[in-house]
Chain A
Amino acid sequence: MTGLGATMVRAGRRLLSSLPALFGVLVFTFLLMRVLPGDPAVFFASGPNAGKEEIEQIRKQMGLDKSVPEQLVFYLSDIGRGNLGRSMMTGQPVLKDLRERLPASLELTFTALLIALIAAVPLGVLAALRPGSVVDHGVRLFCALGVCVPTFVSGLLLIYVFYYLLGLAPDPTGRIDVFTSLPPQRTGFLSIDFLLAGDIEGWWAACKQLILPAVSMALFVIAPLARITRASMLVSLGSDFVRTARSVGLSWRKVVVTYALRNAILPVITIAGIVFSTMLGANVLVEKVFSWPGVASYALDALLSSDYAPVQGFVLLMASLFVLVNLVVDICYGIADPRVSIG
Chain B
Amino acid sequence: MRFVSFRPASSVLAATALLLIATAPSQAQTRAETLRYVTGASVNTLDPNIPGSTRESFALSMSTYDRLVAFGRKQLNGKWVFDLDKITGELAESYDVSPDGLKLTFRLRKDAKFQDGSPVTAEDVKWSLDRCVTAPILGKAQLLTGSLTSADQFKVIDPLTIEVTLPKPDKLALPNLATVYPMIINSKVAKEHATADDPWATAWLKEHTAGSGAYVIETFKPGEQVIVKRNEAWNRGSPDKPAFFKRVIIQSVPEPATRANLVERGDADLVVDLQASDVQSLEAKGKLKVISTPQYNSITFVSMNNQIPPFDNVNVRRAVAFALPYDDMFKAALFGRGAPLFGASWPDGKPLNGIYPFQQPVKIDLDKAREYLKAAGLPEGFSTTFSFNVGQASTAEPMAALVKESLGKIGIKVDIQKLPDAQMSTQINEKKLPFYTEGIVAWLPSTDYFYRNFYTGNQRWNYSSINNPDLAAIAQEARFEPDKAKYEEAGRKLNAMHFDLMPQIMLWQPNQDAVMASSIEGYTYEFHRQVDYRDVSRK
Chain A residues in contact with chain B, CB under 8 A?
36-40, 42-55, 57-58, 61, 88-92, 97, 100, 115, 118-119, 122-123, 125-126, 129-130, 135, 142, 156, 159-160, 162-164, 167-174, 177-179, 204, 207-208, 211, 215, 252, 256, 288-291, 293, 297-298, 301, 303-306
- Flag if A211 contacts B25 (CB, 8 Å): no
Q: Which of A44, A118, A171 contacts B12 (CB 8 A)?
A: A118
Q: Closest approach, in angstroms, between the C-beta of B67 and any C-beta of chain A? A: 17
- Flag if B223 contacts A58 (CB, 8 Å): no
- Flag if B223 contacts A97 (CB, 8 Å): yes
**128-169 of chain B: CB within 8 A of chain A:** 136, 138, 140-142, 144-145
A72 to B254 alpha-carbon distance, docked (Å): 33
If the complex has contacts A42-B426, A91-B52, are A289 and B255 also in contact, measured as CB distance less than 8 A?
yes
- Flag if A167 contacts B265 (CB, 8 Å): yes
Chain B residues with CB below 8 A from A171, complex form: 261-262, 265, 267-268
If the complex has contacts A43-B421, A49-B141, A119-B9, are A291 and B252 also in contact, measured as CB distance less than 8 A?
yes
Chain B residues with CB below 8 A from A58, complex form: 51-52
A130 to B1 alpha-carbon distance, docked (Å): 11
- Flag if A50 contacts B9 (CB, 8 Å): no
User: B2-25, CB under 8 A of A: which get 1 and which 0?
Assistant: 011010110010001101111101
- Flag if B262 contacts A173 (CB, 8 Å): yes
- Flag if A44 contacts B9 (CB, 8 Å): no
- Flag if A173 contacts B136 (CB, 8 Å): no
If the complex has contacts A122-B6, A159-B261, A178-B249, are A304 and B421 also in contact, measured as CB distance less than 8 A?
yes
Chain B residues with CB below 8 A from A54, complex form: 51, 138, 141
Q: Which of B19, B253, B421 contacts A305 (CB 8 A)?
A: B421
A90 to B207 alpha-carbon distance, docked (Å): 11
If the complex has contacts A37-B426, A90-B222, A298-B223, are A163 and B261 also in contact, measured as CB distance less than 8 A?
yes
A143 to B514 alpha-carbon distance, docked (Å): 42
Q: Which of B258, B265, B441 contacts A48 (CB 8 A)?
A: B441
Chain A residues with CB below 8 A from B38, complex form: 173
- Flag if A38 contacts B254 (CB, 8 Å): no
- Is B467 interfacial (CB-CB < 8 Å)? no
Sorted nearest first, the 6 A-B pairs with minimum C-beta distance are A38-B422, A306-B422, A44-B52, A38-B423, A90-B222, A43-B422
A129 to B5 alpha-carbon distance, docked (Å): 13
Chain B residues with CB below 8 A from A50, complex form: 51, 138, 141, 460
B27 to chain A: closest residue by CB: A179
- Flag if A291 contacts B9 (CB, 8 Å): no
Known: A142-B9, A170-B25. 6 other contacts (CB 8 A): A58-B52, A91-B44, A164-B264, A169-B22, A291-B258, A304-B420
Q: Closest approach, in angstroms, between the C-beta of A122 and any C-beta of chain B? A: 4
- Flag if B265 contacts A123 (CB, 8 Å): no
Q: Closest approach, in angstroms, between the C-beta of A36 and any C-beta of chain B? A: 8
A122 to B31 alpha-carbon distance, docked (Å): 45
- Flag if B144 contacts A123 (CB, 8 Å): no
**Count the A-B residue pairs with Cβ separation under 8 angstroms: how many?**
190
If the complex has contacts A90-B44, A293-B223, A306-B420, are A51 and B459 also in contact, measured as CB distance less than 8 A?
yes
- Flag if A126 contacts B4 (CB, 8 Å): yes
Chain B residues with CB below 8 A from A38, complex form: 420, 422-423, 425-426
A96 to chain B: closest residue by CB: B222
Chain A residues with CB below 8 A from B223, complex form: 89-90, 97, 293, 298, 301
Q: Which of B52, B421, B427 contacts A45 (CB 8 A)?
A: B52
Chain B residues with CB below 8 A from A45, complex form: 51-52
Chain A residues with CB below 8 A from B268, complex form: 171
Chain A residues with CB below 8 A from B21, complex form: 168
A43 to B430 alpha-carbon distance, docked (Å): 12
- Flag if B421 contacts A211 (CB, 8 Å): no
Chain A residues with CB below 8 A from B207, complex form: 91
- Flag if A170 contacts B258 (CB, 8 Å): no
A60 to chain B: closest residue by CB: B136
- Is B230 interfacial (CB-CB < 8 Å)? no
Chain B residues with CB below 8 A from A173, complex form: 38, 251, 253, 258, 262, 267
Chain A residues with CB below 8 A from B138, complex form: 47, 49-50, 54
Q: Which of A115, A159, A167, A168 contacts B258 (CB 8 A)?
A: A159
- Flag if A42 contacts B425 (CB, 8 Å): yes
| Residue with the greatest number of chain B CB neighbours at <10 A, chosen from A159, A172, A173, A215 | A173
A173 to chain B: closest residue by CB: B253
If the complex has contacts A91-B206, A119-B9, are A211 and B19 also in contact, measured as CB distance less than 8 A?
yes
- Flag if B420 contacts A168 (CB, 8 Å): no
Q: Closest approach, in angstroms, between the C-beta of B470 and any C-beta of chain A? A: 23
Chain A residues with CB below 8 A from B431, complex form: none
- Flag if A164 contacts B9 (CB, 8 Å): no
A58 to chain B: closest residue by CB: B51
- Flag if A208 contacts B50 (CB, 8 Å): no
A57 to B138 alpha-carbon distance, docked (Å): 10
- Is B45 interfacial (CB-CB < 8 Å)? yes
**25-41 of chain B: CB within 8 A of chain A:** 25, 27, 30-31, 34, 36, 38
- Is B378 interfacial (CB-CB < 8 Å)? no
Q: Closest approach, in angstroms, between the C-beta of A216 and any C-beta of chain B? A: 11
If the complex has contacts A38-B426, A51-B141, A90-B223, are A162 and B20 also in contact, measured as CB distance less than 8 A?
yes
A117 to B170 alpha-carbon distance, docked (Å): 70
Q: Which of A52, A91, A168, A179 contacts B17 (CB 8 A)?
A: A168
- Flag if B141 contacts A53 (CB, 8 Å): yes
- Flag if A126 contacts B17 (CB, 8 Å): no
Q: Which of A39, A170, A211, A215 contacts B422 (CB 8 A)?
A: A39
- Flag if B222 contacts A92 (CB, 8 Å): yes
Q: Closest approach, in angstroms, between the C-beta of A157 and any C-beta of chain B? A: 11
A53 to B140 alpha-carbon distance, docked (Å): 10
Q: Which of B12, B19, B426 contacts A43 (CB 8 A)?
A: B426
Q: Closest approach, in angstroms, between the C-beta of A252 and any C-beta of chain B? A: 7
A303 to B52 alpha-carbon distance, docked (Å): 15
Chain B residues with CB below 8 A from A172, complex form: 258, 261
If the complex has contacts A44-B52, A53-B141, A169-B20, are A163 and B265 also in contact, measured as CB distance less than 8 A?
yes
| Residue with the greatest number of chain B CB neighbours at <10 A, chosen from A49, A90, A174 | A49
Chain A residues with CB below 8 A from B206, complex form: 91
